[in-house]
Amino acid sequence: MPTHRKKRGQPRGRAVDQAALARVRELLGDAPRRRDLLLEHLHRIQDSEGCISVSNLAALAGEMRLSVAEVYEVASFYHHFDLVRESQYPPPPVTVRVCDSLACAMAGAETLLEDLESALGDGVRMQRVSCVGRCAEAPVAVVGMNPVGGATADAVQSRVAAGEVLPELPAGIDYDAYRAAGGYRQLLRVEQGSLPADRVIQTLEDAGLRGLGGAGFPAGRKWRIVRDQPGPRLMAVNIDEGEPGTFKDRHFLEQDPHRFLEGMLIAARVVGIEKIYIYLRDEYAGIRGMLQRELKRLLADPPYDMPPVEMRRGAGAYVCGEESAMIESIEGRRGMPRLRPPYVAQAGLFGRPTLVHNMETLHWVPDLLEQGSEWFTRQGRRGHSGLRAFSVSGRVARPGVHMAPAGISLRELIREHCGGMQEGHELYAYLPGGASGGILPASLADIPLDFDTLKPHGCFLGSAAIIVLSQRDSARETAVNAMGFFARESCGRCTPCRVGTEKAALLMEQLEWDRDLLEELASVMTDTSICGLGQAAPNPMLSVLKYFPDEVTGD
């Protein structure tokens, strides 16, 4: 029986359609065909065609000298890549995505979805999606790349009728205005030696600045650890805030992007970084365009001999908020967390020591160097020091990002910064750390909102994403929504998370919860999951069992 063998060196898989190959080559232009640029090339195809057809996927694999399986496993991992068969090509010209995560669910996302299903025609593709980072504007729909806050069916239809346009860029402080106001002065002090690197790190340590992406690791200590590693050293900034309830990175970037960029460059100079990667979530299309514009202006008139900076675009995977999963994504792979050790400070991007930071942490650095650690530590209540930026959504009169003293309580935050509760609503419960931070009853609304203070109550602050519930809401339904989110977003690498989240979601749909089984499942997930997604996913469920038992008895 005759056999057909591939020529030596030719990738295996589907034969490449020559017309598709020509189109892919046109879209990629002279961009390098490196493996770490795979997601960027997939985005180019998706942006142009509205989807990724099987032919284009095979053509991209051939062009990059990868197997079709390698490209498919990456493309199919991320929510924002729409893979279609030839019979489904082309897709409808407009895609409407409706968020159904916690804040939007509370604000009527299900009703909006029902209204849109009957209102939108065949020329529109509608998708239910997880948090898009605009919880203060709930419910939210995204038409193409354009968000519609406080969405109604009429508002979404109007946006669809307006046609596809490039996303509007935020009107934040631009490069010229930032420099005119004294911006990059602290970076120049570091570069010129009037502010030594050791003093910079000491200032961060004296201020007690901690990572503000959720883990809370001391920033100064992290800088010392990475600086002590052999070069070349790299840096990755994680702006993939996908935790339902979290939107402060977007808030700060829209207002003052160069404050973050200056902090980033100070860190790079102090630690001795040779290249920087900025990983930005795909939902922030306007910010992406703005940052590209401002980086171009910065590079045209740099305050010093800067290291290269590359922007990388996420593709809709919550797990990439975990540092090693983000690194895998930057390298052109599925965003799956790595086993430790080694830690990313020792072997991160491309196997090199890597300084990984959240955007907000770096945003604070110029202010701390200008005003001193004492200015920062003077802020605070109940023995806690510093300022905290809280993303507040839910049943408050003024949702949004609110700057408040560390150690403030939820009750004080609502009263002093959020304009109180919405009319007709009374405080019932709250999530202090987004979907994964647990749920506390109103009777515990006087606990200081800061690192380490919520742990005895089975919760944590995380990225300070506060979601406020009223008597019209259900803690049980909130936990069900959160577990459904975690089940969808599990990367699937480890069994405790992959199977545990799905099993928990099914058990939580039952009229009466099986307490013993759910607690046993939670213990396995917490103790054996590889990363924080599986470890923290049971928190809302356990909180309901502990603080809201009447909601799960089946009575």
CA 349 to chain centre: 19
Q: Mind listing the pLDDT tens digit for each residue in 324-347?
A: 999 999 999 999 999 999 999 999
Q: Mind listing the pLDDT tens digit for each residue in 152-161?
A: 999 999 999 9
**Neighbouring residues of 5: CB distance < 8 A, sequence distance ≥ 6:** none
Q: What percentage of the chain exceeds 90 in pLDDT? A: 89
Model confidence at 1, in pLDDT bands (50, 70, 90)? very low
pTM for the complete prediction? 0.95
CA 45 to chain centre: 23
Model confidence at 555, in pLDDT bands (50, 70, 90)? low
Asked if residues 314 and 240 have their Cβ atoms less than 8 Å apart, the reply is yes
Distance CA 178, CA 176 (A): 5
Q: Residue range 357-375: average pLDDT? A: 96
Q: What pLDDT does residue 291 have? A: 97
Asked if residues 453 and 436 have their Cβ atoms less than 8 Å apart, the reply is no
Listing DSSP states for 202-233 in one string gives: HHHHHHT-B-TTTT--BHHHHHHHHHTSPSPE
Q: Mind listing the pLDDT tens digit for each residue in 385-437?
A: 999 999 999 999 999 999 999 999 999 999 999 999 999 999 999 999 999 99
pLDDT exceeds cutoff 70 at 550: yes
Mean residue pLDDT of the chain comes to 94
Q: What pLDDT does residue 212 have? A: 86
Of 18-27, 104-113, 118-127, 408-417, the range with the lowest mean pLDDT is 118-127
Closest to 23 (Cα-Cα) out of 45, 54, 1, 3: 45
Q: What pLDDT does residue 58 have? A: 96
Segment holding 402, helix H or strand E: strand 400-405
Asked if residues 176 and 201 have their Cβ atoms less than 8 Å apart, the reply is no
Q: What pLDDT does residue 466 have? A: 98
Q: What pLDDT does residue 10 have? A: 54
Q: What percentage of the chain exceeds 70 in pLDDT? A: 97
Q: Residue range 430-449: average pLDDT? A: 97
pLDDT exceeds cutoff 80 at 3: no
Q: What pLDDT does residue 90 have? A: 84
**Neighbouring residues of 327: CB distance < 8 A, sequence distance ≥ 6:** 236, 338, 344, 348, 349, 354, 356
Distance CA 542, CA 483 (A): 11
Distance CA 468, CA 460 (A): 15
Q: Mind listing the pLDDT tens digit for each residue in 253-301?
A: 999 999 999 999 999 999 999 999 999 999 999 999 999 999 999 999 9
Q: What pLDDT does residue 88 have? A: 82
Domains, the chain, with CATH or none: 18-88 (1.10.10.1590), 94-161 (3.40.30.10), 175-371 (3.40.50.11540), 395-552 (3.10.20.600)
Distance CA 130, CA 127 (A): 10
Q: What pLDDT does residue 14 have? A: 67
